[in-house]
Amino acid sequence: MNRYALRVLGALATVLVLIIGCGGSSEVADTPPGLVETGDASGTVELADISPDEFLVLLDGRSIPVPIGPDGSFEIPDVPVGEHVLDVLHRSGARGGRAEFRIDPDQRVVIPPIRVESVGQIVGLVTKLENRAYVPAAGVEVVARSDAIWLMGPTGQWSVAVDGSRPVSGTVTDPGDAAPLIFPPPPGFSYSAHTDDSGSYTVRGVKPGPYLVTVAVPGFRAVQRFVSVSPGRTSVADFLLVPVVQADLGKIEGTVTSLDSAGQSIPIKGAIIEVGIGIDWETPPPEPIPLPPELVAGVAEPAEGEDGEQFVMPTPIRWRVLKAITDERGRYELKVPAGARVVHAWAWRHAPQRREVVVPEGGTVRVDFGLESLPEPPPPPFPRPEPVG
């Protein structure tokens, strides 16, 4: 079945399922899932005399097997509708480029040319306090952002505006001028990665400059820290998540699978789960953030700790979308604010799907996805090398 037929079926499917549990576990009824429309994208990479075979292609932070031609051209079929970020990264991790684009239904988008330049990376370990023990926090999203960062000082509101190369600090006298951090942030100003089963993460292809790295997981206090990224270097940011009571939360859990050629269901590792929740829900206030020396200059009278370290209090974080990623068994779980929610699932070379559910407060709703494989696209029409002599 091709993706156009899938769209027609998705348009006819009834996708609203209202199952409310009372502190227990609910399951979504066996109704046809809604199918998410897709489009195609193409573009070029300025290779600068580097072999195209030395580059990796990442779509929204996930590596995809898209070949790059000798002239730097590439094609990406069946991209879900919405905003996307494409990173092209040298296998050494020291050079890379980025482009942002939007896909509309059945649209073919030409991505702006991607320029390859020197980049760095951020690595670290995320652990959580659970049942009085420290355990790896797997499948947690880590976001590094370099856009305008609003911070609360002891005598008012401060803003630290980061343009990717140098910080600019100033005072905002009216607290009403302060804006919360909105997640996910604008694509061009952020990089993200998910932790693996050991709690480790690597944010690759990061342009040099200062960044605010954030880990915000429902049910835990958000943690943040500043890091400075240099070309060809690795910066380290480790985090510990401490649980907090949030009575308005429920949980979504399930599996994402695909059918193989024999009709057997197989788990999909690395499938992306997204839940839209609006912009009114806030996490508990994060802990104070230490200010590195390069950001202290120009910030008037920041608070000072016992060891002389200067820090500021960030403003609340408000969410539009929460994300999870499936493990090797195709499983995922995600705490979200209770209420009516739309759950999206997407994996490379599969038709994306969505389900509409009601998440019970203090309870769990199960949402399983069976994604249908898409046919492999024909090879891109790369130009043949001209014979020599």
Count of CA atoms in the C-beta half-sphere (13 A) of 259:
10
At 31 the pLDDT is 44
Predicted confidence (pLDDT) per residue in 91-128, tens digit? 988 999 999 999 988 889 999 999 999 999 999 999 99
Nearest to 379 by CA among 110, 80, 97, 65: 65
- 12-16, 69-73, 150-154, 279-283: least confident range: 12-16
Residues of the chain with CATH 2.60.40.10: 37-118, 120-371
* CB crowding 77-89: b at 16 or more within 10 Å, else e: bbbbbbebbbbbb
Mean pLDDT for the chain? 79
State the amino acid at position 301 in one-letter form: E
Grade residue 188 by pLDDT with cuts at 50, 70 and 90: confident
Q: Which CATH class is domain 120-371?
A: mainly beta
Is the per-residue pLDDT at 355 higher than 80? Answer: yes
Give the DSSP per-residue string, 110-146.
Answer: EPPPEEPEE-EEEEEEEEEEETTEEEE-TT-EEEEE-
Closest alpha carbon to 313 in 128, 166, 149: 149
CATH match for 37-118 among 3.20.20.70, 2.60.40.10, 2.40.40.20, 3.40.50.10470: 2.60.40.10
261-285 per-position pLDDT tens digit: 777 889 999 999 999 887 778 877 7
pLDDT bracket for residue 60 (50, 70, 90): confident
Are 315 and 178 contacting, i.e. CB atoms less than 8 angstroms apart? yes
The pLDDT, as a whole number, for residue 380 is: 63
pTM: 0.78
pLDDT at 338: 92
Overall size of the chain counted in residues? 389
Taking only the tens place, the pLDDT of each residue in 20-44 is 334 455 555 444 456 678 899 999 9
pLDDT given at position 160: 54
* 33 Cβ neighbours under 8 A, 6+ residues apart: 10, 13, 15, 353, 354, 355, 369, 370
Give 332: exposed, middle or buried? Use CB within 10 Å, 0-12, 13-18, 19+.
buried
Q: What tens digit of pLDDT does each residue of 144-186 get?
A: 988 755 555 555 555 555 444 444 444 444 444 456 777 777 7
